[in-house]
Structure 1
Amino acid sequence: MSASYRFTHAITRKPGVGITAGLRAVDIGAPDLDLMLAHHADYIAALRSTGAEVVELDALADFADAVFVEDTALCLPRGAVVMRPGAPSRLGEAGLMAPHLAALYDDVRVISGAESYIEGGDILTTEREILVGRSARTNAAGVAELRERVADWGLPVREVFTPPGVLHFKTDCSLLDAETVLATQRLAASGCFDGYRVIHTAAGEEACANAIRFNDLVIMPDGFPKTRDILVAAGFAVRVVGNSECAKLDGGMSCLSLRFTPSLT
């Protein structure tokens, strides 16, 4: 099986002029919009090179972080779940994504509890389970509600914990194939990937742990040659894409798209 990394579709959103006001844990400088747009175009080209259909949504003027569409939804083979972001400034983004998902899925469900917060960046879906990392953006109520929403879709939800000081669970990991995860040493040391094959990021290159397996490609940020070589040596086809500007807003490869095979009949 390969439903967790083979897809026919992706949804992306163009970064807008408000991106300079995007959320960030540490201010290392404002992103350059023109360079971000160039990187975004390269990212979309990489997705399309696999034969996938990519839906490019317009920028949202009222939401500085809207380019990071992954946080708005969880897309699974049998349906999609609209998230409830833990950052107050991002709450409206999820509702605006819902109609686009409804055009492609028969079944779209919503995290709606007033105390529930959950973002897609904290969710790693494998062939056997959905791992959800508790973080500053995803709480216990959000995990519990997601478990209820997907209970009849055949994948159990397992709650894990994001390392202190790390924004999202997938900041430190990504899926490479049905049995293999790319992860930082600090996250793998927690034991959350017991039963999986783990490939560690090279020392000093922990920032590239957020990659994506999309059909036959592993798409990872440029600038991490040691980890790239590790992945190539392990037999993966790797495409590097510039990510310097999104990284200034704590964004990575997975953040920039929703990846799925729609269930619309």
Structure 2
Amino acid sequence: MTNPSFEFSRAITRRPAPSITNGLRAEDIGTPDLDKMLAAHADYVATLKKTGAEIIELPPLDAYPDAVFVEDTALCLPQGAVLMRPGAPSRMGEVPEMASTLRAVYDDVREINGPGHIEGGDILVTGREILVGRSDRTDAAGVAELSAIVTEWGHTLREVFTPPGVLHFKTDCSLLDAETILSTKRLDASGCFEGYRVVHVAEGEEAAANSIRFNQYVLCPAGFPRTTEKLHKAGYEVVEIDNSECAKLDGGMSCLSLRF
């Protein structure tokens, strides 16, 4: 029996465009280096392919600087896909660009029509439920509209809250397996993961929380040795990917693919 929360046969990625240097960021910690980002992105895609999954690689979209972060445009579930409604106005146009790709691989594609907003970076699918964090990009109306769709598909959705000043729920957490969450202490302190096994990232390595479990691998941003060691000791096969450039745009491992 496969586990749809971390066992995938396909993923969708999009190559960074030169315009990515104009991407959104909460604070300016420097302009991303496109060549370094392209190399890291290629490494990321190659790692996904190593698991035997089919990777649908989409071309760059110069009109949308943040389009490399495909995860925010949709939620992919076994029953169907849901097109999101981003909270950042400059990203709304990314959704129709993704729609045709999803319609080619899914029979059932729904969409969040609004007035609410919701982004994929705020959604964590575990072995038993869908957790959606309210944030600056995801509001109550967006969560309610998604809830109606996924409930019809037999899923349980639970609304939780993203810590203040944290862009997305998954900035601070990720799934390690159906019952285990990698989380920052600040997010876990909210009680949102009660009943799960929780592995805390090392103090000062909060950015390592945005990792992904993709088949046999846990893809982690490079440069967080104590967290990586914790994961190795817990029995996970960790692959480190350079995330230095995406981090300048508040992006991470989960943002770079849609997994299904």
Under TM normalisation by the shorter chain, which class is it?
over 0.9
Q: Distance in 2 between matches of 1:92 and 1:148?
A: 24
Q: Distance in 1 between matches of 2:4 and 2:72?
A: 20
Matched AA of 1:183: S
Asked if 1:109 corresponds to 2:118, the answer is: no
Look up the SS of the partner of 1:198 in the other structure.
Answer: strand
Q: Distance in 1 between matches of 2:226 and 2:5?
A: 26
Asked if 1:76 corresponds to 2:77, the answer is: yes
Which residues of structure 1 form unaligned runs of 5+?
261-265
How much has 1:158 moved relative to structure 2? 0.5
Partner of 2:128: 128
Asked if 1:20 corresponds to 2:21, the answer is: yes
Matched AA of 1:226: R
Q: Distance in 1 between matches of 2:4 and 2:207?
A: 26
Q: Distance in 1 between matches of 2:82 and 2:127?
A: 18
Q: Distance in 1 between matches of 2:157 and 2:97?
A: 25
Partner of 2:86: 85
How much has 1:38 moved relative to structure 2? 0.1
Q: Distance in 1 between matches of 2:197 and 2:96?
A: 36
Q: Distance in 1 between matches of 2:96 and 2:119?
A: 13
Deviation per residue, 1:46-105 (Å, 9 max, x gap): 100100000110011110000000000000011000000000000010111011001001
Partner of 1:180: 180
How much has 1:127 moved relative to structure 2? 1.4
Q: Which runs of 4+ in 1 moved over 4 A?
A: none
Q: Distance in 2 between matches of 1:211 and 1:153?
A: 27
How much has 1:153 moved relative to structure 2? 1.3
Q: Distance in 2 between matches of 1:155 and 1:216?
A: 25
Partner of 2:4: 3
Deviation per residue, 1:105-124 (Å, 9 max, x gap): 110000012x2100000000
Deviation per residue, 1:11-53 (Å, 9 max, x gap): 0000001001000001000000000000000000110010000
Matched AA of 1:9: R
Partner of 1:263: none
Matches within 5 A, 1:165-204: 165-204=165-204
Q: Distance in 1 between matches of 2:172 and 2:10?
A: 25
Asked if 1:210 corresponds to 2:218, the answer is: no
How much has 1:154 moved relative to structure 2? 1.4
User: Root-mean-square deviation (CA), in Å?
Assistant: 0.6
Matched AA of 1:110: E
Q: Distance in 2 between matches of 1:134 and 1:100?
A: 27
Matches within 5 A, 1:131-170: 131-170=131-170
How much has 1:258 moved relative to structure 2? 0.2
Q: Give TM-score scaled by structure 2 length.
A: 0.99
Matched AA of 1:5: F
Matches within 5 A, 1:15-54: 15-54=16-55
Matched AA of 1:46: T
Partner of 1:56: 57
Q: Give TM-score scaled by structure 1 length.
A: 0.97
Which residues of structure 2 form unaligned runs of 5+?
none
Matched AA of 2:86: P
Deviation per residue, 1:208-241 (Å, 9 max, x gap): 1000000000000000000000000000000000
Look up the SS of the partner of 2:148 in the other structure.
Answer: helix
Matched AA of 1:132: V
Look up the SS of the partner of 2:47 in the other structure.
Answer: helix
How much has 1:129 moved relative to structure 2? 0.6
Partner of 2:95: 94
Look up the SS of the partner of 1:31 in the other structure.
Answer: coil
Q: Distance in 1 between matches of 2:67 and 2:240?
A: 23
Matched AA of 1:125: V
How much has 1:155 moved relative to structure 2? 1.1
Q: Distance in 2 between matches of 1:219 and 1:61?
A: 27
